[in-house]
Amino acid sequence: ETGVTQTPRHLVMGMTNKKSLKCEQHLGHNAMYWYKQSAKKPLELMFVYNFKEQTENNSVPSRFSPECPNSSHLFLHLHTLQPEDSALYLCASSQGLGGKEKLFFGSGTQLSVL
Partner 1 sequence: GESVGLHLPTLSVQEGDNSIINCAYSNSASDYFIWYKQESGKGPQFIIDIRSNMDKRQGQRVTVLLNKTVKHLSLQIAATQPGDSAVYFCAENEPGGFKTIFGAGTRLFVKA
List residues binding partner 1 (CB under 8 A).
2, 4, 40-43, 45, 48, 55-56, 90, 92, 97-108
- How far apart are the C-alpha atoms of 112 and 74, rounded to whole Å? 20
Q: How far is the CB of 38 from partner 1 (least distance, A)?
A: 11
Q: How far is the CB of 30 from partner 1 (least distance, A)?
A: 12
Kindly report the backbone phi and psi dihedral angles of residue 85, in degrees, each rounded to the nearest multiple of 5, phi listed first.
-80, -5
Q: Give 66 or 108: the residue with its C-beta nearer to partner 1.
A: 108
- How far apart are the C-alpha atoms of 76 and 81, rounded to whole Å? 12
Q: Give 68 or 92: the residue with its C-beta nearer to partner 1.
A: 92
Write down how long the chain is: 114
Kindly report the backbone phi and psi dihedral angles of residue 59, in degrees, each rounded to the nearest multiple of 5, phi listed first.
55, 45
Q: Give 55 or 112: the residue with its C-beta nearer to partner 1.
A: 55
Q: How far is the CB of 98 from partner 1 (least distance, A)?
A: 5
Q: Are 93 and 29 in contact (CB under 8 A)?
A: yes
